[in-house]
Structure 1
Amino acid sequence: MTTTGLGSLPGEDVREWMKVVLDAVDIPFLPELPARPYGDMLSRAVAVLGDLSADLQPAGWRLTGGSDPRSSLDQRRARSVLQEDLDVLEELADGYTGPLKLQLVGPWTLAATVELPRGDKVLADHGARRDLADVLAHGLNDQVAEVRRRLPGVEVLVQLDEPALPAVLAGAVPTASGWSKHRSVDGPGAVELLARVVEAADPATTLVHCCAARPPIEVFTKAGAGGVAVDVSLLTEPAWEQIALAVEAKTTLYAGLVPTTGPIPDPEQAAAPLVRTWRNLGLDPELLKQVVVTPACGLAASPSPSDARARLDLLRAVVDALGEAAEA
């Protein structure tokens, strides 16, 4: 069992957080600091869209209809923040060998969030959302290649964040007017678009993260993802049944066990829900040793950097508690 974080962290000091994640978790990751201008996950995704121009409007990011990124000041600023973060990563992780995780918004959440030039969501246009996914895939491929060039000793893992996918599948994403909802997307369609981006990285080292009561695990695995990241405290029984099938098929479970806010539990308390459900499902205890322990979700909502650090520090103790449970 190993540990990692899910990306977002509080505060604005990326240099200090990069030092922390290189020490506190087994799989370091490139921190996302949404408290900074252009430091949130959507801005980071827009930064890698090499062939699409986008601008930041009061309602959020909107495609501008041009293919020249220089036409967007906001996009240039988002790219500058990302490049600064990669410079810090290269400096502080010099000589590091082992796994390193990057996070990027997945194609469905991006399509459900970013607007077309005329103002509706990209989700409304089949061709536009396919083009957006292809550009995102190309940008991800370039980013992975850049990190490997800067840090040749790392094994890059990619986390695709898809918090909006359950709403996309349910037809629950509001239109621009707010008076209706976008048409639901069927399972095969969801798989096809997600697979475009998964394949751009490396399916064996790509995980999909979705903190929902019923994350669409089957969509993630059929798209080729090698791992799924969930908030264990939210999961319903049907979701656990899908997770059990995925785990038995050798999909890596990134189990969100440490809450992001509220009292910090002791390691046994944090591990207990996963151990209990594992036994109830009749899963092989040996498979528990393949779990990656994470916070329940991103830690940007933590009340302070020190609180977030304490939650990251707890992860390895939770691994020890799970290990004892697996041996029992």
Structure 2
Amino acid sequence: MANQLPSAPTAFGLGPLPGTDLVNAADIVISETPLPHIPQLPDRGIGSDAIGRTAALLDIPVEPGPRGWRVAPRPRTQTQFRDQMERDLDVLEELWAGKVDQLKVQLVGPWTLAAEIEMANGHRMITDPGALRDITDALAGAVDQHKSAVDKRIASTVLQLDEPRLVDIAVGNLKGATDYEEIRAYPEPFERLAGFGEFLLNAPLLIDAPWQTADLKSLTLAGQRDRVAGLLESGARLAIAPIEPSWLWRYFDELQLDPAEAALDVYAAGGGTLADSAANYRAAREMAEGLR
């Protein structure tokens, strides 16, 4: 999968925004970020969350279950979620086509999908090597189709893969279907992700990925700083949360690196309101401009 990446530094939102109004959310995104993204509106309810949006694109039938998401006999509910995403693209095409050069799309990565979706027997897909392979292959196809659709309708796409369960997966902390089931750890998760080409990895764990998010204020222990330095020295690109310039310079002094020579972007999370989100996005954009 070939994904063209924007040049660093740039700024962007991670995806989720408050409320249910796509038009207003889209206005915030395009007004405040140099790399716009498709707004995700989880306040709309089930199916609008990250798992539901990604599952809607899979060729494996998936539906909401009593404990989250599960493989379904038919794609009935999934079709409803897919239709909502198509309607969203209709709106964004009308608003943005011809106005943006690149657009970031966000989907949940294969590890978190396999951890969150249960098979018919109630066990997580990650516990079955065949099911893990199937969900990875299905996601690869969904990514290609989704990116192609957005490429044609709005602008060339940049892929973000969200892996919020990566820490639990890497250290083996996932709970099994019963108290007696132990789910193995996967301490080297990037091999499975590498097949998705160039993308931004949004995860709470730093791994050997070429481009990933990193909250530097949560990475202040000596070993964590060494990890950040090693990634940057190897040519990796990091997207960091907005922080005070003086703090950033002190942090890089401790790393014995020059932030002006590092490949850094700035990301913003949504706030409690769209106004808060706009302020967060603006802060990220201004910080990215200061890194140039």
Taking structure 2 as the reference length, what is the TM-score of the superposition? 0.90
Judging changes above 3 Å, is the alpha-carbon distance between structure 1 residues 168 and 176 closer, same or farther for their aligned structure 2 residues?
same
CA contact (8 A) 1:209 1:229 kept: yes
Paired letter, 2:207 = I
Q: Bigger relative contact order, structure 1 or 2, given CA contacts below 8 A and separation 6+?
A: 2
Q: CA deviation at 1:58?
A: 2.3
- The letter for the 1-side match of 2:230 is L
CA RMSD of aligned residues (A): 1.9
Q: SS state of the match for residue 178, structure 2? A: coil
Q: Which runs of 5+ in 2 are unaligned?
A: 1-8
The corresponding residue for 1:228 is 212
- Residues 230 and 285 of structure 1: is their aligned pair in 2 closer, same or farther, counting only changes over 3 Å? closer
Q: Is 1:240–2:213 an aligned residue pair?
A: no
Aligned position for 1:167: 168
**Separation of aligned partners in 1, 2:222 and 2:11:** 25
TM-superposed CA distance for 1:123, in Å, is 0.9
The structure-2 alpha-carbon separation of the partners of 1:82 and 1:270, relative to structure 1 and needing over 3 Å to count, comes to farther
Measured after TM superposition, the shift of residue 320 of structure 1 is 4.5
The aligned residue for residue 274 of structure 1 is: 248
Q: Unpaired runs of 5+ in structure 1?
A: 258-268, 324-328
> Residue 5 in 1 paired to residue 13 in 2?
yes
* TM-superposition CA deviations, 1:248-267 (whole Å, max 9, x none): 3332211122xxxxxxxxxx
CA distance in 2, matches of 1:159, 1:240: 24
The 2-side partners of 1:158 and 1:228 are apart by 12
Q: Aligned partner of 1:142: which letter?
A: Q
State the partner residue of 2:88. 85
For residues 212 and 134 of structure 2, the distance between their equivalents in structure 1, rounded to whole angstroms, comes to 25
Q: 1:178 to 1:312 in 2, by over 3 A?
A: farther
Give yes or no for contact 1:275–1:322 (8 Å, CA) kept in 2. Answer: no
CA spacing shift, 1:132–1:27, aligned 2, 3 Å: same
Question: 2:179 & 2:50 partners in 1: Cα distance?
Answer: 24
Answer yes or no: is the 8 Å Cα contact 1:103–1:159 preserved in 2: yes
Tell me the TM-score normalized by structure 1: 0.80
Structure 1 residues 138 and 237, CA gap change in structure 2 (3 angstroms): farther
- 1:267-323: CA deviation from partner (whole Å, max 9, x where unpaired): xx53343322112111133324x311112xx42xx3222112221122223234545
Deviation at 1:16, TM superposition (A): 1.1
Q: CA shift at 1:237, angstroms?
A: 3.5
Q: 1:191, 1:138 → 2: CA distance?
A: 18
Paired position in structure 1 for 2:277: 308
Alignment-derived partner of residue 206 in structure 2? 216
Q: Does the CA contact (< 8 Å) of 1:217 and 1:243 recur in 2? A: no
What is aligned with 2:52?
43
Runs of 4+ in 1 over 6 A off after TM superposition: none
Structure 1 distance, partners of 2:147, 2:170, is 29
SS of corresponding position for 1:104: strand
Could you give the per-residue CA deviations for residues 173-208 of structure 1, whole angstroms, max 9, x where no partner exists?
001225554111241xx2332223x23xxx2xx110
Q: Tell me if structure 2 keeps the 8 A contact 1:2–1:293.
A: yes
Relative distance call for 1:272 and 1:182 in structure 2 (3 A) is farther
What residue is the counterpart of 2:3 in the other structure?
none
Q: Which moved more, 1:236-245 or 1:115-124?
A: 236-245
* CA-to-aligned-CA distance 1:114-144 (integer Å, 9 cap, x gap): 1111111111101101110000011001111
The residue that corresponds to 1:17 in the other structure is 25
- Residues 310 and 101 from structure 1, CA distance in 2 versus in 1: closer, same or farther, beyond 3 angstroms? same
| Structure 1 residue aligned with 2:139 | 136
Identity of aligned residues (%): 31
* Match for residue 150 of structure 2 among 137, 147, 150: 147
DSSP 3-state at the match of 2:244: helix
Residues 210-235 of structure 1 show CA distances to partners (whole Å, capped at 9, x for unaligned) of 1x3xx1322xx2xxxx4111222222
The aligned amino acid for 1:247 is L
Asked if 1:195 is matched to 2:198, the reply is no
Report if the CA contact (8 A) 1:5-1:29 is conserved.
yes
Paired residue total: 282
